[in-house]
Amino acid sequence: MTNTYDVCVIGLGLSGLSAAHQLITKQQNVSVCGIEARDRVGGRLLTVTEKSEKTGEEVTGDVGGQWVCDAQKDVMRMVKLLGIDTFKQHFAGKSVLQSSGTQIRYSGIVPYTINWFSLIEMQLMLWKLDSQAAQLNLDAPWDHPNAPEWDSMTALTVINTLWTQTARDLLTAFVVSCFACEPNEISYLFVLFYIKSAGNLHMLIGTNFIPHKLTM
């Protein structure tokens, strides 16, 4: 038997699921089917529950997307619509940066206690990232005149242009924590696109802009 649908959504991560949801709720008489390559929906969102080897207790954790903020207007609208609970991210206390064998404790986003050369170099790099990201058109990042060059580079290419080890360590920590991959595994154009998608670097990494953690 062959089924016929008006629309087929391919890939049932958050984007596919919300596209299907919108079609079903906002369009009348539109039949929708979804095709997903994996044996589950959700894509890069996944909550897992495992037994702790130490205590035998069941521990639940997110291994994909988990934080949302008010700047993510569409996601927040969906969170409210689905009645998903959120709680504020705990970010009291100090952050620790491990660099060149030493530990640096600091408050806020930037470790102002590192040496001045690294700090200035890091700040110049953050401005450069923000200004290049701001030039991209989110609907067609490939249209930027420098897109072929940026896409032929990885984040590591850019990190390697830094002179100081601490600045290199900081930028590496940013890439690893934001993209869940090593700097040599990700296109520089994609890094810029991701920064622009969030608004700017501060909104992407600032904990005061990331106040909610989902509980589902």
Ligand X SMILES: Cc1cc2nc3c(=O)[nH]c(=O)nc-3n(C[C@H](O)[C@H](O)[C@H](O)COP(=O)(O)OP(=O)(O)OC[C@H]3O[C@@H](n4cnc5c(N)ncnc54)[C@H](O)[C@@H]3O)c2cc1C
Task: Count CB atoms within 10 A of the CB of residue 214.
Answer: 17
In this structure, how many other beta carbons lie within 10 angstroms of the beta carbon of residue 59? 12
Where does this chain touch ligand X (CB under 6 A) — which range of 6-14, 24-32, 92-100, 132-140? Answer: 6-14
Task: Check residue 48 for interaction with ligand X (CB under 6 A).
Answer: no
Question: Does the footprint of ligand X cover residue 206 (CB under 6 A)?
Answer: no
Q: How far is the CB of 66 from ligand X (least distance, A)?
A: 5
For the record, the structure tokens of 143 come out as 């249209």
**Angle of helix 14-26 versus helix 73-81 axis, rounded to 10:** 60
Contact yes or no for 130/191 (Cβ under 8 A): no
- Give the three-state DSSP class for 144: coil
Q: Is 65 in the site for ligand X (CB under 6 A)?
A: yes
Which of 44, 77, 105, 128 forms a contact with ligand X (CB under 6 A)? 44
Q: Quote the CA–CA distance of 70 and 178 in Å, as a whole number.
A: 18
Which CB, 14 or 156, lies closer to ligand X?
A: 14
- Tell me if 77 contacts ligand X by CB under 6 A: no
| Residue 35 binds ligand X (CB under 6 A) | yes
The answer to whether residue 8 forms part of the interface with ligand X (CB under 6 A) is: no
Q: Quick one: which of 7, 21, 32, 36 contacts ligand X (CB under 6 A)?
A: 36
Minimum Å gap between C-beta 55 and ligand X is 25
User: Quick check: 155 and 188 in contact, CB under 8 A?
Assistant: yes
Q: At a CB cut-off of 8 Å and minimum separation 6, what does 112 contact?
A: 106, 119
Binding footprint of ligand X, residue count (CB under 6 A): 20
CA separation for the pair 174, 205 (Å, rounded): 8
Between 146 and 199, name the residue whose CB sits nearer to ligand X. 199
The binding site for ligand X (CB under 6 A) comprises 10-16, 35-38, 43-45, 64-68, 180
